[in-house]
Chain A
């Protein structure tokens, strides 16, 4: 049985193909202006790697903010539902799954059966999400992927306010004028972001095991800050940005069986 999950995110579309419930390939494309086309590309890439064609797939489940635009999909699942499914599949003891993507951060709480019982989403603001790191990397004239390693070199923390990207940026400018070093500023940025995410998770309750997924989970700087702020260990899967697509593909397995 072949199933597929597509996650139509705000910045990129991810696809995962499962054979009898096991991951056999992945694909990715930039969302751009045509998310439906990007979804086709991502699925096409994943199918090519698995040496399969679309007609081999028994069920496709879509998730993500653009899920209604997914071509060829048979059903949809909410992003929170997909996160829960993937988190518990990857780490059976996961009870809190945090997903930090380009434009949104959210957290899902699961019960002992791995069923979602509560969730929370960041308050209509990008300061707790990946876009914030991008904006700040521009302000520091540093490559996005260098931000994390740079922040780990910081010797101390300089607090900034991350109530929003715009105010955050003006705080960063203040630090630049104070001639703080780049590592310290980078650390301040991750700390501020992790502050936002962790207070959101605290409102939901921090129940171990805590799993972090989403593209931002690949950023070592953010992960270090989040661990400090949450005060617990944070588990990260090998392909954190594919968690949504994986969750959707797992839901597809269940739906094939139902039919």
Chain B
């Protein structure tokens, strides 16, 4: 008989030999995919900004893994999270390293099928699969995980991963604009602060928290600057900007900020010299829906930007993209209670995740999109949903009605964590872009 502590609630027994073999194969595929993605991004824009080189390097998983490993040897703790509601400022203030651990590996989702049915969202299945074979360095290096109870998939994912790691579940209220919701969420923030302190052994003091908030505000500033640069004629391809955005999820925050500012400097110069990443009349597209995660789940941006006729992604409404860092924490007084209040409000109120509803529905998401469409001059929207992603799938009907009224074409693109449907998706994406080009012709 196994002891209670060894007994896994969900995870099946899997031999070390199989783990090793699968990890080896999938890691090799992953490295190939990373190299291929970057090669294709370079091909799409042969005159790609020089500052992109840093982001290409940090996108390889290995570089950052080594750094985090070294930091851990010096006693630093790593705290992983799945959803964007995890208050990274508190993690940074305790001198720990925040990393997002959602998996973008297609092959890992097939392993997840051994634990949960195939109807479950592939982001969840893939993260389970990644854990089974220790595929994700960031998940492996995490000393604890923050699991925010957002959609059904994420709620149970945390529970499943607790077979391996301490998991701190945070209850997220579904109605965000009510005083009782904010009260509950503030209590959750305080509780997770205690857990972070206990794990790291570092008491979070005002000075450290202020510094963490300020460092994150600086990152937000660089992040927003990059998105602002995508408003005009194309100075950067969507995939390149998306890669920059994604690397924030695992990179060192100060260095990421510095490198992003450097990229923006380069882009500003290019804009002045009218050096464009693609012809300025290329149809401008926004993507919204299920998060798209590096490296495998890069097929939609690739299809759009390599299509004939070509499109360019100038904005997104994705929690793996522009929603990552768009909104800063706004602090009036730098007291501990005010800072915690500001953090609670930022993480709750700024989110446009479809797990929320209220009397007027998830109005904030609609408004975000309408603002983007207007300000970023977007001509069409791709609404991307993976099978099993119920909340995004359900909100489509409403989004479509709103966009129909303002005469913005939107296409519902459903897919899976697989490479095999790229041909079918290409047909649809190209028809959509053809439609947008025809409109531009008139």
Contact = CB atoms under 8 A, between A and B. Distances in A.
A124 B435 contact: no
Interface string B380-421: 000000000000000000000000000001011010000001
Interface stretch (B18-26, B57-65, B127-135, B426-434): B426-434
B6 to A, nearest CB: 41
Interface in A94-121: 113, 115-121
A78 B427 contact: yes
Nearest to B416: A124
Nearest to A108: B431
B1 interface: no
Given A123-B414, A124-B414, A80 B431 contact: yes
Contact of A77 (B409, B423, B424, B434): B434
B14 interface: no
B308 interface: yes
B438 A76 contact: no
Nearest to A78: B431
Contacts of B430: 78
Q: How many of chain A's residues touch chain B, expressed as a range?
A: 10 to 19
B438 A124 contact: no
A117 B435 contact: yes
Interface in B141-172: none
Contacts of A81: 431, 434-435, 438
A76 B431 contact: no
B424 A78 contact: no
A76 to B, nearest CB: 7
Nearest to B404: A118
A121 B409 CA distance: 15
B438 A116 contact: yes
Interface string A75-91: 01111110000000000
Contacts of A77: 434
Nearest to A65: B427
B17 interface: no
Q: How many of chain B's residues touch chain A, expressed as a range?
A: 10 to 19
A80 B434 CA distance: 10
B18 to A, nearest CB: 31
A204 to B, nearest CB: 10
B442 interface: yes
Contacts of B421: 124
Given A118-B409, A124-B414, A124-B421, A79 B427 contact: yes
A78 B309 CA distance: 10
B394 to A, nearest CB: 14
B374 interface: no
Given A115-B442, A116-B438, A124-B424, A79 B409 contact: no
B2 interface: no
Given A79-B431, A80-B431, A115 B414 contact: no
Interface in B53-103: none
A117 B407 CA distance: 9
A116 B430 CA distance: 13
Q: Which of B424, B435, B439, B442: most chain A Cβ within 10 A?
A: B435
Nearest to B387: A124
Contact of A121 (B428, B435, B438): B428
Contacts of A79: 427, 431
Interface of B: 308, 409, 411-412, 414, 421, 423-424, 427-428, 430-432, 434-435, 438-439, 442
23 contacts: A65-B423, A65-B424, A65-B427, A77-B434, A78-B427, A78-B430, A78-B431, A78-B434, A79-B431, A80-B431, A80-B435, A81-B435, A113-B442, A115-B438, A116-B438, A117-B435, A118-B409, A118-B435, A119-B431, A119-B435, A120-B412, A121-B428, A123-B414
Given A77-B434, A80-B435, A115-B442, 15 more contacts: A78-B430, A78-B431, A79-B427, A81-B431, A81-B435, A81-B438, A115-B439, A116-B434, A117-B435, A117-B439, A119-B411, A119-B432, A123-B414, A124-B414, A124-B424
